[in-house]
Amino acid sequence: MRIGTRGSPLALVQARQVAAALEIHSGGALRGEIVTFTTSGDQLTTERLINSGGKGLFTRELDAALSRGEVDVTVHSLKDVPSVLPDGQHFVAFPEREDAREGFLSSKYSSLAELPEGAKVGTASLRREAQTLARRPDLEIVTFRGNVATRMRKLEEGLADATYLAMAGLTRLGMSHVANPISFEEMLPAAAQGIVGVVARDDLPEDAAVAFDKMNYKQSEAAAYMERAFLAALDGSCRTPIAAHTFDRGEEWLLSGEVLALDGKEKWSASGSCLKSATHEQMAALGADLAAQIREAAGGRLPAFGETW
Ligand X SMILES: NCc1[nH]cc(CCC(=O)O)c1CC(=O)O
Question: Is residue 123 a contact residue for ligand X (CB under 6 A)?
Answer: no
Binding mask 136-165 for ligand X (x = CB under 6 A): -----------------------------x
Over the window 168 to 187, marking each residue x when it contacts ligand X by CB under 6 A and - when it does not, the resulting string is xx------------------
Q: Is 79 in the site for ligand X (CB under 6 A)?
A: yes
List the catalytic residue out of 72, 80, 99, 161.
Answer: 80
Fill in the per-residue mask, 190 to 229: x = in contact with ligand X (CB under 6 A), - = not in contact: ---xx-----------------------------------
CB of 229 to ligand X, least distance (A): 18
SS (H, E, C) the chain: CEEEEECCHHHHHHHHHHHHHHHHHCCCCCCCEEEEECCHHHHCCCCCHHHCCCCCCCCHHHHHHHHHCCCCEEEEEHHHCCCCCCCCEEEEECCCCCCCCEEEECCCCCCHHHCCCCCEEECCCHHHHHHHHHHCCCCEEECCCCCHHHHHHHHHCCCCCEEEEEHHHHHHCCCHHHCEEECCCCCCCCCCCCCEEEEEECCCCHHHHHHHHHHCCHHHHHHHHHHHHHHHHCCCCCCCCEEEEEEEECCEEEEEEEEECCCCCCEEEEEEEEECCCCHHHHHHHHHHHHHHHHHHHCCCCCCCCCCC
Stretch that binds ligand X, among 72-80, 108-116, 251-259, 298-306 (CB under 6 A): 72-80
Q: Candidates 62, 93, 134, 166: give the one binding ligand X (CB under 6 A).
A: 166
Instruction: Kindly list the catalytic residues.
Output: 80
**Which residues contact ligand X (rule: CB under 6 A)?**
77, 79-80, 165-166, 168-169, 193-194
